[in-house]
Amino acid sequence: MTTFSSGTTAAVTREQISRYADAVNDHNPVHLDDEFAKRAGLPSVIAHGPLTLALVIDRLVAHYGADRLRSFDARLKAPVFPGESLTVTSTNDGVSVTNATGDVVATATLEVVEL
């Protein structure tokens, strides 16, 4: 199997954020209520950080399979908004995640094993 080089997620949707909120019981209004998010200085609601990372990990699973992943250590750099798709690109020690305008929203180190 080749090393992961890059992959892109579908655009994050509000429905997806809502489903994730229900799935993990995280109903912080910054993810669900635009007015609340605007009062917090954001243009709109934002995706949960773990949802963003789950979408990134899912791209790695699509390439390697879940059984081969051993560690993933991520730093979140910027919020992800509905409508944004994410591009996951390999780096020397893991991956970098950028939005459509090229801003880095997360970086992560990654460990994968051969089976």
Partner 1 sequence: MPSDTKRLDIGGAIGFSTYQSIERRKGNFVRLEAKGTRLFRSSMEVDAAQLEAVASAISTDTAAETSGLVNWFGVSIDGDEALVEALGMDLSRTMLAGQAYTWTRPLEVGEDVEVEVSVEDIYPRGKNHFAVIRTEIRSGDDIVQTQRTTFIESGNE
What SS3 state is found at 115? coil
As measured in angstroms, the least distance from the Cβ of 40 to partner 1 is 7
Residue ranges in contact with partner 1 by CB under 8 A? 9-10, 16-17, 19-20, 22-29, 40, 48-51, 53-55, 57-58, 61-62, 65-67, 69-76
Cα→Cα distances 11→3, 38, 47, 69, 93, Å: 24, 21, 11, 24, 26
Q: How far is the CB of 105 from partner 1 (least distance, A)?
A: 12
| Least Å from the CB of residue 96 to partner 1 | 15
Question: What distance, in Å, lies between the first and last C-alpha atoms of the chain?
Answer: 11
> Which residue, 4 or 20, is less far from partner 1 as judged by CB?
20
Question: In residues, how long is the chain?
Answer: 115
